[in-house]
Amino acid sequence: MPHGNESCMKGHEMASYFTCLIHLWEEWAGLGCLEDYLSYLDYLVWVFTPLAIVFILPFFILLFLYLSILFLHVYKRKNELKVAYSNNLWDCARKTLATLWDGHATIWHGYEIHGLEKIPDKGPALIVYYHGAIPIDYYYFLANVIIQKGRTCHSVADHILFKMPGFKLLLEVFSVMHGPQEECVKALRNGHLLGISPGGVREALFSDETYPLLWGKRKGFAQVAIDSKVPIIPMFTQNVREGFRSLGTLRFFRWVYERFRLPIAPVYGGFPVKFRTYLGDPIPYDPNVTATELAEKAQQAVQSLIDRHQKIPGNVLRALLERFHRRSKEE
């Protein structure tokens, strides 16, 4: 029996000895703080993951655009032998992509469009709209025009879009132009629809959740409407600023844009908020109205849509909850 006790004591001594060696090795190797490091790392991941997500999601829109371009290139190769026999080579491609974008709109934003009947089935019109941080609502509008009206709406875009690698085919297929007034007038006189945002990149970067229109004294679009003798149709999308937001209101990014015309302000978001696009009553052509007066009328019309349909200031959580709140078509 004593012999058993001695063995037990020796066993405890050996265990204590090895435990002491392990603790010494952990301290020497710096592993004693490993748990603290891991806990701190878990905390950083917990804090910064949501922040990373809201800056990564906008790149998925860019990815979707490039996937659209890839589809067009594949479609082009498949149908290149038909070029000489078809005047509407790209119709099927446009409708396919419009269906994909409309699906994205429905699933991610519960997208609705009100007043599409104000877009003529035939003949020209100038659509003037508020520019979000990313004009994804305008893409959805274009998709609906293709699907429901069977028409392609020409668009005016900033020159920086034409410098994006690989975008040339996409811009050509969807009739996007840089926007010289002569080209805009030509498109309208040929009976096409034309969409333009007078606020442009400036409005995309520097407008905020209070939805100010940053048109300045721009009246070129109004002169285009007068020269073409077409109506102007105002358009605004509810919660477009809650879907994506820009850090352009920070002084540094504004200084860079004003000095170098570089729109480098980061865009974040991609939140699945409710989107509703509203089209206002057309402003008819009036030969007695000047470009300045017409521009003011158009701005007032868009502002009226904002005042009527957008709660100011915009709120992401409220816009998310609107996904579960139904409104009547008349509202």
Neighbouring CB atoms inside 10 A of 81's CB total 8
Integer Cα distance of 329 and 112 in angstroms: 9
Compute the C-alpha angle 273/275/280, nearest 5°.
155
Integer Cα distance of 76 and 99 in angstroms: 18
Q: Are strands 232-238 and 276-279 parallel, antiparallel or unpaired?
A: antiparallel
Residue 236: name the closest of 149, 171, 184, 298 by CA: 298
Is the N-terminal amide bond of 313 cis, ω within 30° of 0?
A: yes
Q: Judge whether 131 counts as a catalytic residue.
A: yes
Let me know: does 323 contact 273? Beta carbons within 8 Å. yes
Integer Cα distance of 26 and 41 in angstroms: 20
Residue 116: name the closest of 103, 134, 100, 102 by CA: 102
* Structure tokens given for 185: 């007038």
* Structure tokens given for 147: 């699907």
Beta-ladder partners of 235: 129, 279
Neighbouring CB atoms inside 10 A of 255's CB total 10
Q: Which of 104, 109, 131, 154 is catalytic?
A: 131
Helices and strands in the chain, H and E counts: 12, 9
CA distances 258 to 205, 267, 287, Å, are: 11, 18, 36
Integer Cα distance of 45 and 80 in angstroms: 50
Q: Are strands 267-269 and 176-177 parallel, antiparallel or unpaired?
A: unpaired
Chain-centroid distance, C-alpha 211: 15
Chain-centroid distance, C-alpha 50: 19
Catalytic residue list = 131
